[in-house]
């Protein structure tokens, strides 16, 4: 259960996803213009598209070639529906090529493939660029090996790359447009101006995507779903997402919300004590703490595969919530019907595609404990009020709900906790204790240096390797830990944070001198993509 897209006071811009690493950045960029946008599979049935009644459809980029037999495409009848209903269509990269090919044009392997920054020249006055940019060049981000060599009837080339390849096309009378480059990435400096101009000046989209409206609508949805005598359980992790979700549901149904915080044995240093104190003193939420550390660690013993860890943890969480529900039933005389979770839009996007979704061309990046790990026989029905929101939008919502700023600024912490930051068996030796101490030193050093709010997420990782070292004039054979810190807007893409050498030197010394069993510290300097943010 989540916000109904049809209730949003904004035109909907629908993105059809063909597998580009930037697809969901398009969604986020459009929302930053106060326009509601959603992303669904590019191979969704026509009814899934038409039921949403979008004003604009954007065809995303992707790694495929339109002239290969198994390349993904929009459903039969899509273009006819769009044209008949006055829906604007913009193809980006692969989306442009798909539009060209399906309308009778020709796409071939390019003589010169274009990857990275490229100058593009605007050739003529156009709907896409207006009149003022004619004759000007702009830097854009290209990522294509194929190119359109023959356009469908009625289309004009309005911009070309410095190598002469088609960079932008349009047929305004049919409301079909295409960009061969990616306007959504920061490497295209004028990209947001182009999207803004296209949506507002060309398509006439109305903006009305505000967190105040989202809050009002979510409360209506919750009250319409949860009966007046129903009780609801909320799984609180101590993070931003579940805290905002709990506060929102509490505002809607009051004391019929029953929060539970589970100590799964995979929490950070003194996490349980710190989180419970905040819940009770600052948020005034009724929270029951369940110590299930032995239960989780017993089930995880010997497990090294990260996906299996996530599935096990998800299953154990649900079994605890079911048991908690049974206890509440005895106490209240009525069994709770719903479970609240702080699932976010990136969680849904990056998790296993649901059966029948048609997303056969996309790869599973990870299964989240609160998405991919849910058992089929779960007795509680889900309430996921943040399911269509990105992290920064959740923080906006939290501010409106008066959630303390210190809580909203907390770095994301994964549902499976330290299980995905200990590579290998989490129960082996004292890996968890070592990691907790290392992580505490790292995070406290970041806070002391005034860097915490400049970093999207920072954490330590326990590596399944030992290294020879010298400590206290003695030869040691101890553990290696890694430090990771990234900057990001929503977790979909991320760059590693550039620490000063002195900071890293100080942190390394503190860890090696203060944590028994560690004699080597390394830093992760990989962006997402190609890596994910977590190590696993």
Please check the confidence at residue 2 and state whether its pLDDT lies above 60.
Answer: no
Predicted confidence (pLDDT) per residue in 420-434, tens digit:
999 999 999 899 999
Please tell me whether the overall predicted TM-score, pTM, comes out greater than 0.85 for this model: no
Residues 184 and 310 in one domain: no
Q: What is the pLDDT of residue 292?
A: 94
Query: Which of 47-61, 236-250, 463-477 has the largest mean confidence?
Result: 47-61
> Of these residues, 144, 182, 250, 479, which one is catalytic?
182
Cβ neighbors of 9 (< 8 A, separation 6 or more) are 208, 209, 210, 213
Tell me the average pLDDT across 113-139.
83
User: Which among 184, 205, 194 has a CA at the least distance from the CA of 86?
Assistant: 205
Asked whether residue 221 is assigned to any structural domain, the reply reads no
Q: Which domain holds residue 86?
A: 13-202
Among the listed residues 39, 93, 259, 512, the single catalytic one is 93
255/288 same-domain check? yes
Tokens found for residue 22: 């930037």
Cβ 499 vs Cβ 487: under 8 Å: no
Residues 462 and 398 in one domain: no
Is residue 76's pLDDT more than 50?
Answer: yes
Confidence class of residue 345 from pLDDT cuts 50, 70 and 90?
confident
Q: Is 240 annotated as a binding residue?
A: yes
For residue 448, what is the domain's CATH number? 3.30.300.10
256 assigned to some structural domain: yes
Compare 285 and 85 and report the one with higher pLDDT: 85
Q: Do 262 and 185 sit in the same domain of this protein? A: no
Answer yes or no: is pLDDT of 209 > 50: yes
**Residue 200 DSSP label:** I
179-193: pLDDT as tens digits = 999 999 888 888 899
Q: pLDDT tens for residues 92-115?
A: 999 999 999 999 998 887 666 667
Q: Is the pLDDT of residue 251 over 70?
A: yes
Where residue 27 sits, what CATH number does that domain have?
A: 3.40.50.880
The confidence score (pLDDT) of residue 33 equals 93
Q: Is 242 within any annotated ligand binding site? A: yes
> Is residue 170 a contact partner of residue 176, using CB atoms and an 8 Å limit?
yes
Quick one: 356 and 434 in the same domain? no
Which CATH number belongs to the domain containing residue 283 in this structure?
A: 3.40.50.620
Give the count of domains, the chain: 3
Query: Is residue 488 included in any domain, yes or no?
Result: yes
Yes or no: say if 234 and 371 are a contact pair by the CB < 8 Å rule.
Answer: no
In-domain check, residue 535: no
Question: Sorting pLDDT into bands at 50, 70 and 90, what band is 7?
Answer: low
**Rounded to an integer, what distance in angstroms lies between the CA atom of residue 112 and that of residue 144?**
10
- Choose the weakest-confidence range: 53-67, 144-158, 341-355, 475-489: 341-355
Residue 489 domain flag: yes
Q: In which band, very low, low, confident or very high, does the pLDDT at 477 lie, cut at 50, 70 and 90? A: low
Q: Quick check: 392 and 372 in contact, CB under 8 A?
A: no
Residue 187 shares a structural domain with residue 98:
yes
165 and 242 share one domain: no
Confidence at residue 512, expressed as pLDDT on a 0 to 100 scale: 92
471 forms beta bridges with 474
In a domain, 87, yes or no: yes
- Residue 182 among the catalytic residues: yes
So what's the pLDDT on residue 354? 34
Q: Is 468 annotated as a binding residue?
A: no
* Residue (of 124, 86, 121, 91) closest to 105 by Cα position: 91
239 labelled as ligand-binding? yes
Co-location of 265 and 347 in the same domain: yes
CA atoms of 273 and 278, how far apart (whole Å): 9
pLDDT of residue 454: 94
Q: 489 and 445, same structural domain?
A: yes
Question: Residues 400-416: pLDDT tens digits?
Answer: 998 888 888 888 888 88
Q: Where are the beta strands (DSSP E) in 151-286?
A: 156-161, 166-171, 176-179, 232-236, 257-263
Query: Is the pLDDT at 373 greater than 50, yes or no?
Result: no
473 carries a ligand binding annotation: no
Same domain, 360 and 477: no
Domain co-membership, 46 together with 188: yes
- Is residue 55 located within the same domain as residue 185? yes
**Has 231 been annotated as catalytic?**
no
Catalytic residue among 114, 147, 184, 536: 184
Q: Could you tell me the CA-to-CA distances from 344 to 9, 283, 347, 395, 485 in Å, in that order?
A: 21, 21, 5, 12, 21
Q: Is residue 420 part of a domain?
A: no
Residue 98 lies in a domain: yes
19 phi and psi angles, rounded to 5 deg: 100, 5
């Amino acid at each position: 259960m989540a916000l109904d897209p049809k209730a949003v006071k904004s035109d909907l811009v629908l993105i059809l996803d063909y597998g580009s690493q930037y697809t969901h950045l398009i969604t986020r960029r459009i929302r930053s213009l106060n326009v509601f946008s959603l992303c669904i599979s590019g191979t969704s049935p026509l009814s899934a598209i038409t039921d949403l009644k979008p004003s604009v459809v954007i065809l995303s980029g992707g790694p495929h070639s339109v002239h290969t037999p198994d390349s993904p495409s929009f459903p039969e009848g899509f273009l006819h529906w769009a044209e008949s209903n006055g829906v604007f269509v913009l193809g980006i990269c692969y989306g442009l090529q798909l539009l060209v090919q399906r309308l009778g044009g020709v796409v071939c392997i390019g003589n010169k493939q274009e990857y990275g920054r490229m100058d593009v020249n605007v050739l003529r006055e156009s709907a896409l660029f207006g009149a003022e940019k004619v004759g000007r060049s702009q830097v854009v981000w290209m990522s294509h090996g194929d190119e359109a060599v023959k356009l469908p009837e009625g289309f004009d080339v309005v911009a070309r790359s410095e190598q002469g390849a088609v960079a932008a096309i349009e047929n305004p009378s049919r409301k079909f447009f295409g960009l061969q480059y990616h306007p959504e990435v920061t490497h295209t400096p004028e990209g947001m101006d182009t999207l803004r101009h296209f949506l507002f000046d060309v398509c006439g989209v109305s903006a009305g995507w505000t967190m105040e409206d989202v809050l009002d609508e979510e409360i209506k949805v919750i009250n319409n779903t949860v009966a007046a005598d129903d009780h609801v359980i909320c799984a609180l992790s101590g993070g931003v997402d579940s805290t905002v979700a709990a506060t929102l549901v509490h505002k809607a149904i009051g004391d019929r919300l029953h929060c539970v915080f589970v100590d799964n044995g995979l929490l950070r240093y003194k996490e349980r004590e710190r989180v419970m104190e905040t819940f009770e003193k600052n948020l005034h939420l009724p929270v029951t703490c369940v110590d299930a550390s032995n239960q989780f660690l017993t089930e995880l013993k010997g497990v090294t595969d990260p996906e299996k860890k996530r599935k096990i943890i998800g299953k154990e969480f649900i079994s605890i919530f079911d048991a908690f529900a049974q206890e509440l039933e005895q106490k209240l005389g009525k069994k709770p019907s719903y479970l609240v979770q702080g699932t976010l839009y990136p969680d849904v996007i990056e998790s296993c595609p649901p059966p029948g979704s048609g997303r056969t061309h996309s790869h599973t990046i990870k299964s989240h404990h609160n998405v991919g790990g849910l058992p089929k026989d779960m007795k509680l029905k889900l309430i996921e009020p943040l399911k269509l929101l990105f992290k920064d939008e959740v923080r906006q919502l939290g501010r409106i709900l008066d959630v303390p700023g210190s809580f909203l600024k907390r770095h994301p912490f994964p549902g499976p906790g330290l299980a995905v930051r200990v590579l290998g068996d989490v129960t082996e030796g004292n890996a968890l204790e070592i990691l907790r101490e290392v992580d505490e030193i790292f995070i406290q050093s970041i806070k002391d240096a005034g860097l915490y709010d400049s970093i999207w997420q920072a954490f330590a990782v326990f590596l399944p390797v030992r290294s020879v070292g010298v400590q206290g004039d003695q030869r040691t054979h101890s553990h290696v830990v890694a430090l990771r810190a990234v900057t990001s807007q929503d977790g979909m893409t991320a760059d590693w944070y550039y620490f000063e050498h002195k900071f890293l030197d100080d942190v390394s010394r503190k860890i090696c001198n203060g944590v028994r069993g560690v004699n080597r510290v390394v830093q992760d300097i990989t962006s997402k993509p190609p890596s994910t943010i977590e190590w696993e």
